[in-house]
A and B are shown apart, each in its own frame.
Chain A
Amino acid sequence: MSAAAIPVAQIKTITMSIYRYDPTLDKKPYMQDIIVEVPTDKDIMVLDALHLAKAQEPSLSYRRSCREGVCGSDGMNINGKNGLACVTPLSEVIKRNKITLRPMPGLPVVRDLIVDMKQFYDQLEKVRPYLITKSDSPDIERTQSPEDREQLDGLYECILCGCCSTSCPSFWWNPDKFLGPAALLQSWRFIADTRDEATDERLDDLEDAFSLYRCHGIMNCVSVCPKGLNPTEAISNIRNKLLTRKKA
């Protein structure tokens, strides 16, 4: 979309205050105000506004790919709240013609709005987010009843954008010990899966003071999830499973 193609009457200027850091040039990050012209006759997404800002400041860096909330690349902190720039309408977040964009909190900044997600992926790897089976493979496939399959709704939809874990104070302070909401949601996704045959080992792995129990249920994760998922509920389900397992 080019701003020049839009008639003047349908344009307004907004200020985008953006976190800038280039490791080759800057010792410290700083906030840069970029004035952008956006159309008023239709709503655009924050990502579209970022493209307009990048047209002025080509060095501005951010991740994006599918631009429709499926790939999970453009998670960022928009006016203090994590979200995907591509599915966040500008009209919902803009305040007094201004919008502030920062990288997702708690992870090292590679450049501008791009963070190093290694810590996030390391935690995901720990929960072994894949089916573990011990019995012999059936001839065709491992089947599930529709009811059992339903148990995975609200779990499998996670796109691993990192918005939840990077909005969680427990993850900020212990990103290496507390698994974080995204990894724990995936953990529950496989504990709840009737085809998985490593439930006990999965639960054993979570039975320390940090991995799971650092969640204090403040639900920042739920309030930012762009897919509307509920990691707090998944964590609570794992906790209940750990407790009932001991009783048995």
Chain B
Amino acid sequence: MIENDNRPVNLNLLTINLPIIGVSSILHRISGVAIFFSFPLVVWMLSISLKSEESYSLLSSLFQSSTILKIMIYLFLVGFSYHLLAGFKKLLSDAFGIGETLASGRILSWIVFGATFFMAVLFIFYIF
């Protein structure tokens, strides 16, 4: 933006339409940030599980009894799956130019959303 300029700028994001490919891209970023901030928890759980047999069973029983922990891990897995799949989509377009037309980009975005939804349902059965 031009400095010392007090002219208004129309940039109310709530009024601007964001197409599906844009939604998929912003969610890729948001999931990336969420994964980054949940890493301490996951690394902590990994280190506890590797420490000794007792600490592993302690963690296991904590996981079985704590719904909050289950929900946190569930959200982490869903976010991680989305980030991974959307990352593959990005790699496909960067490396092979796949998904660089409007139609193919939209289809790929929907595939990423669909696959994440499928994973999210699977994780429900797996964790809860």
Interface residues of A (CB under 8 A from B): 19, 21, 23, 28-29, 77, 79-81, 100, 102-110, 115-116, 118-119, 167, 169, 172, 175-176, 216-220, 222-223, 230, 232-233, 236, 239-240
5 contacts between A and B (CB under 8 A): A105-B10, A176-B1, A219-B19, A219-B102, A230-B102
Sample of 12 further A-B pairs with CB below 8 A, known A172-B11, A219-B21, A236-B100: A81-B17, A103-B10, A105-B11, A106-B10, A109-B8, A169-B22, A217-B21, A220-B19, A230-B100, A230-B102, A232-B105, A233-B97
B interface vs A, CB < 8 Å?
1-2, 5, 7-11, 15-19, 21-22, 24-26, 90, 93-94, 97, 100-102, 105
State whether A109 touches B7 (Cβ < 8 A). Answer: yes
Q: Which chain B residue has the least Cβ–Cβ distance from A23?
A: B7
C-alpha gap A64/B127 in the complex (Å): 60
Choice from B25, B93, B102 contacting A222 with Cβ under 8 Å: B102
Establish whether residues A102 and B25, one from each chain, have CB atoms under 8 Å apart when the complex forms: no
Contact residues in B for A77 (Cβ distance below 8 Å): 10, 15-16
Of chain B, the residue at the smallest CB distance from A222 is B102
Bound together, the chains give a CA A102 to CA B8 distance in angstroms of 12
A230 lies within 8 A of B16 (CB): no
Q: A19-B10, A104-B10 are in contact. Are A80 and B90 (CB under 8 A)?
A: no
Pair B9/A108 contact, Cβ less than 8 Å: yes
A102 to B16 Cα, complex, angstroms: 10
Closest to B24 in A: A218
Tell me if B100 and A108 are in contact (CB < 8 A).
Answer: no
B9 touches A106 (CB 8 A): yes
A100 vs B8: C-alpha distance when bound (angstroms): 18
Question: Closest residue to A21 on the B side, CB-wise?
Answer: B8
Kindly report which residue of chain B lies nearest to residue A176, judged by CB atoms. Answer: B1
**Are B17 and A106 interface neighbours, CB within 8 A?**
no
**A-B pairs with lowest CB-CB distance, top 6:** A80-B17, A108-B7, A218-B22, A218-B25, A81-B17, A29-B8
Asked whether B21 lies within 8 Å of A80 as measured between CB atoms, the reply is no
**CB pair B15 A118 closer than 8 Å:** no
CB–CB B22/A219 < 8 A: yes
Residue numbers in A under 8 Å from B97 (CB-CB):
233, 236, 240
Q: Which of A23, A29, A115, A217 is within 8 Å of B100, CB to CB?
A: A217
Contacts of A104 in B (CB 8 A): 10
- The smallest C-beta distance from A75 to any residue of chain B, in angstroms, reads 12
Q: Are B11 and A217 in contact (CB under 8 A)?
A: no
**Within the assembled complex, what's the spacing in Å between the Cα atoms of A79 and B15?**
8
Q: Could you tell me the distance between the alpha carbons of A213 and B1 in the complex, rounded to whole angstroms?
A: 19
Do B8 and A217 have beta carbons less than 8 Å apart?
no
Do A230 and B10 form a contact, CB below 8 Å, given A81-B17, A175-B1, A218-B25?
no
Residue of A nearest to B17 (CB): A80
Q: Which residues of B contact A81 (CB under 8 A)?
A: 17
Nearest-neighbor residue (CB-CB) of B22 within chain A: A218
Residues of B within 8 A of A108 (CB): 1-2, 5, 7-9
The docked-state distance in angstroms from the alpha carbon of A107 to that of B101 is 27
- Please state if A223 and B102 are interface contacts (CB–CB under 8 Å): yes
- Chain A residues whose C-beta falls within 8 Å of the C-beta of B93 in the assembled complex: 217, 236
A221 vs chain B, min Cβ distance (A): 10
Pairwise interchain contact B17-A109, C-beta atoms closer than 8 A: no
